[in-house]
């Protein structure tokens, strides 16, 4: 892959706070138009990584480039090329959605029509004049996404974008994110929702105790780390628990005993159906990290 | 530092201050206090000014003298001795119901027209008539004499003052002190107001948003300073209108109000950058308010009375003393250039230091993930 196509490139990025090492030798890259997910438990170093990549704090070692800008030396240019949706809903609650977005327009020196454009994008134009405090969590999240998109940044950082949202609002947010990727935006998101990462991300990285311990596509991770299993539907057989006349049993494809059992049932013509069962990202995370995600 | 982002932040905060009930209450507080001062002054300061007059020739000079007071009551004396005994000799101390006494010769006006130099006696009770009013009276009588005729000198006044005010009498310029205090209170409010504006950005995590926008910490601080100065000037003007503060050297008064506003707002910004919650800023701003109140009390006559007192001299360490001193002297028209220059340099120097300190503090906090 050409270096020019890399929109995010972190090389041996480290950050310490006093004696605490928050991020250790983290290296990864995200090409243009990709959604990269950073997964990990609370306190693993996800937010510190985002804060370094968005120029909020300096790394203590290593370096990073985002949208072609060095995150330390070219901070002013970097700010023009990134959008950030924060974990906390940090909007001006007493002001209207329109005023919140207009404020960001003033900061970036953008024309006022951008407010209407992004409000249209997140389907909030009809509620634009109402104070943010009257909005639901989902609506607030959409306003935050709209704010991050005002200046049309090529790279978007999303910190737990669906946190605290009901399933419908979360799906709307995910649809918006996917639409942005289709439009060519590069997105780095952190989440603790494995299913969300699986649906949205082209690649994911697992952070444990400040270290990036895995970094690949969800499919490769599941194939390389997950258990190969089959779900077999059988007519009644002696060594399987009964449930009416049909039984379902999960077999480990790498277990010789399960392999012989399957062969035996096939020979006896007891097998009605066979389905492969893929490992989930959560299974992979548990295996890689040895812990359950937060 | 960008003017566009500074103006953007100021514009946003200007509206947010009005929509926030607590900041709106803070803004209204000095206005309420000023009204209270006016009411107190009215209750304790308003009484009829009784003028004892011996005026056998019915000279119109009596009307001129009574016109110098807002609520005069003229009492006629039957003889010059009555007036003299009601007041006593010059410099004596005596309780008298009269504020002013006048003994006007029977031929006062006629003598003036003939080019003579008639002598009238003017008695002043220092408890009721201050120095400025006394000068005003003398000037009014002289003007009257010039209107009647144009001799030089037109008339001579034999003046006696009882209960003469000591040069350091507290309360002599109570009105001026009230204005100074009301302005200092409005500065105190600004400290709290702008501190809460900044700390709210931390509490609501909106400062994080500003950190990834084109705004620098300097822009954030200056934006809030700008909106604070706007509201402070508006507040000061309202306070001055209520208190009748457009007196003395008005441009200089306004200059020191502007300097004072910048200082108090910078102090608020430093508090807002140090602390993480509105309650902490409010509490500390309350404690810090003493640096406004003390100079407000001791500026002017009381400070003169306490010259040599070490504790009072220590007040001069406070920058707010120079703020109060500048405003007070401008109000009473006693500004000395070197003094005003010192006041301005101290206030503006401290303002610059406080602003730099708040930007530095914010930057330092931002280097720690959990801090902002």
Query: Per the structure, how many domains does chain A have?
Result: 2
Residue of A nearest to B209 (CA): A90
Predicted pLDDT at B87: 86
Residues A115, A185 within the same domain: yes
Predicted pLDDT at B172: 45
User: Closest Cα of chain B to A7: distance in Å?
Assistant: 17
CATH number, domain of A77, equals 3.40.50.300
**Average pLDDT over chain A, rounded to an integer:** 86
Q: Which residues contact B194 (CB under 8 A, 6 or more apart)?
A: B224, B225, B227, B228, B265, B268, B269, B272
Residues A166, A248 within the same domain: no
Q: Which residues contact A285 (CB under 8 A, 6 or more apart)?
A: A39, A194, A206, A292, A293
Residues A123, A234 within the same domain: no
Whether B170 has a pLDDT exceeding 50, the answer reads: no
Distance (Å, whole) CA B22 – CA B282: 11
User: Which of A23, A92, A132, A155 should we substitute to test contact with B (largest number of B Cβ atoms within 10 Å)?
Assistant: A92
Q: What is the dihedral of CA A82, A88, A93, A96, to 10 degrees?
A: 40
What is the pLDDT averaged over residues B109-135?
Answer: 79
Q: Which of A51, A90, A106 is nearest residue B206 as measured by Cβ atoms?
A: A90
Would residue A284 count as lying in a domain? no
What is the pLDDT averaged over residues A29-57?
Answer: 90
Q: Which domain holds residue A258?
A: 227-278
Residues A165, A244 within the same domain: no
Flag if A106 and B215 touch (Cβ within 8 Å).
Answer: no
Distance (Å, whole) CA B170 – CA A216: 82
pLDDT in tens, A113-160: 999 999 988 888 889 899 999 998 888 988 999 999 999 999 999 988
Whether B169 has a pLDDT exceeding 50, the answer reads: no
Question: Going from the N-terminus, what domains does chain B have, and what CATH number goes with each?
Answer: 3-40+171-366 (no CATH), 47-162 (3.40.1710)
Would residue A291 count as lying in a domain? no
Taking CB atoms within 8 Å and a gap of at least 24, the contacts of B186-189 are B186/B30, B186/B232, B186/B235, B186/B236, B186/B239, B187/B232, B187/B260, B187/B261, B187/B263, B187/B264, B187/B292, B187/B320, B187/B323, B188/B264, B188/B285, B188/B289, B188/B292, B188/B293, B189/B26, B189/B27, B189/B29, B189/B30, B189/B235
Residues A161, A34 within the same domain: yes
DSSP annotation of A160 reads S
Residue of A nearest to B214 (CA): A79
Would residue A44 count as lying in a domain? yes
Would residue A253 count as lying in a domain? yes
Predicted pLDDT at B266: 92
pLDDT in tens, A210-224: 999 888 898 888 887
Residues A38, A8 within the same domain: yes
Would residue A18 count as lying in a domain? yes
Would residue A292 count as lying in a domain? no
Structural tokens at position A185: 């935006």
Residues A124, A261 within the same domain: no
What is the pLDDT averaged over residues B327-353?
Answer: 87
Binned at pLDDT 50, 70 and 90, residue B371 comes out as low
Would residue A138 count as lying in a domain? yes
Residue positions counted in chain A: 294
Residues A213, A232 within the same domain: no
pLDDT in tens, B189-243: 888 889 989 999 998 889 989 999 999 999 999 999 999 999 988 888 888 888 7
Would residue A162 count as lying in a domain? yes
Residues A182, A270 within the same domain: no
Flag if B7 and A106 touch (Cβ within 8 Å).
Answer: yes
Distance (Å, whole) CA B137 – CA B142: 9
Residues A255, A153 within the same domain: no
| Structural contact between residues A272 and A214, judged by C-beta atoms closer than 8 angstroms | no
% of chain B beyond a pLDDT of 90: 19
Predicted pLDDT at B150: 64
Q: Which of B205, B215, B366 is nearest residue A107 as measured by Cβ atoms?
A: B215
Partners of residue B53 on adjacent β-strands: B76, B102
Residues A91, A210 within the same domain: yes
CA A86, A88, A90: angle at the middle one, nearest 5?
A: 85
Structural tokens at position B296: 């407000």
Q: Is B219 left (phi over 0), alpha (psi -120 to 50) or beta?
A: alpha
Residues A183, A236 within the same domain: no
The last residue of a domain, from among A170, A196, A217: A217
Between chain A and chain B, the number of residue pairs with CB atoms below 8 A apart is: 74
């Amino acid at each position: 892959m050409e270096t020019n196509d890399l929109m995010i490139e972190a090389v041996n990025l480290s950050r310490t706070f006093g004696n605490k090492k928050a991020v250790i030798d983290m290296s990864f890259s995200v090409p243009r138009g990709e959604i990269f997910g950073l997964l990990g438990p609370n306190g693993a170093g996800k937010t510190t990584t985002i804060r370094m990549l968005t120029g909020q704090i300096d790394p203590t070692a290593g370096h990073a480039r985002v949208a072609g800008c060095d995150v330390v030396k070219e901070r002013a240019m970097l700010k023009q090329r990134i959008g950030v949706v924060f974990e906390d809903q940090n909007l001006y609650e007493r002001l209207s959605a329109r005023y919140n977005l207009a404020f960001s327009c003033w900061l970036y020196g953008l024309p006022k029509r951008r407010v209407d454009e992004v409000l249209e994008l997140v389907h909030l134009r009809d509620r634009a004049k109402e104070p943010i405090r009257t909005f639901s969590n989902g609506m607030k999240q959409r306003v935050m996404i709209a704010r991050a998109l005002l200046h049309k940044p090529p790279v978007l950082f999303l910190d737990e974008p669906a946190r605290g949202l009901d399933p419908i609002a979360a799906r709307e947010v995910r649809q918006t994110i996917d639409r942005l990727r289709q439009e060519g935006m590069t997105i780095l998101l952190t989440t603790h929702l494995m299913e969300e990462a699986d649906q949205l991300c082209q690649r994911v990285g697992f952070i444990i105790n400040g270290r990036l311990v895995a970094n690949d596509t969800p499919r490769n991770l599941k194939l390389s780390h997950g258990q190969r299993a089959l779900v077999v539907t059988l007519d009644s057989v002696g060594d399987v628990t009964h449930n009416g006349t049909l039984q379902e049993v999960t077999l480990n494809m790498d277990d010789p005993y399960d392999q012989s059992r399957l062969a035996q049932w096939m020979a006896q013509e007891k097998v009605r159906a066979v389905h492969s069962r893929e490992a989930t990202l959560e299974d992979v995370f548990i295996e890689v990290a040895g812990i359950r995600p937060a | 530092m960008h003017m566009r982002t500074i103006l953007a932040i100021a514009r946003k905060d200007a509206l947010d201050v009005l929509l926030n009930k607590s900041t709106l209450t803070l803004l209204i507080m000095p206005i309420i206090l000023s009204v209270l001062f006016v009411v107190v002054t009215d209750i304790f300061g308003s009484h009829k000014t009784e003028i004892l007059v011996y005026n056998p020739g019915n000279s119109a000079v009596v009307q001129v003298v009574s016109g110098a007071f807002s609520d005069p009551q003229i009492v006629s004396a039957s003889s010059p001795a009555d007036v003299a005994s009601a007041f006593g000799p010059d410099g004596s101390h005596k309780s008298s119901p009269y504020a002013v006494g006048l003994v006007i010769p029977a031929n006062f006006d006629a003598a003036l027209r003939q080019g003579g130099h008639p002598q009238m006696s003017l008695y002043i009770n220092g408890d009721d008539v201050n120095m400025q009013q006394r000068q005003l009276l003398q000037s009014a009588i002289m003007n009257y004499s010039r209107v009647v005729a144009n001799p030089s000198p037109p008339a001579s006044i034999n003046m006696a003052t009882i209960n003469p005010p000591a040069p350091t009498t507290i309360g002599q310029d109570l009105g001026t002190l009230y204005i100074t205090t009301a302005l200092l209170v409005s500065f105190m409010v600004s400290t709290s107001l702008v501190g809460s504006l900044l700390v709210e950005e931390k509490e609501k995590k909106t400062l994080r948003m500003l950190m990834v926008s084109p705004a620098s910490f300097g822009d954030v601080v200056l934006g809030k300073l700008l909106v604070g100065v706007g509201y402070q000037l508006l507040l000061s003007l309202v306070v001055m209108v209520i208190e009748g503060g457009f007196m003395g050297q008005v441009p200089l008064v306004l200059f020191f109000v502007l300097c004072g506003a910048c200082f108090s707002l910078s102090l608020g910004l430093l508090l807002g950058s140090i602390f993480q919650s509105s309650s902490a800023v409010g509490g500390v701003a309350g404690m810090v308010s003493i640096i406004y109140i003390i100079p407000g009390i001791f500026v002017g006559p009381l400070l003169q009375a306490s010259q040599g007192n070490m504790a009072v001299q220590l007040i001069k360490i406070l920058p707010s003393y120079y703020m109060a001193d500048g405003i007070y002297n401008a109000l009473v028209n006693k500004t000395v250039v070197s003094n005003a220059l010192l006041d301005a340099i101290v206030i503006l120097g401290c303002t610059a230091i406080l602003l730099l300190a708040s930007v530095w503090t914010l930057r330092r906090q931002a280097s720690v993930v959990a801090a902002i």
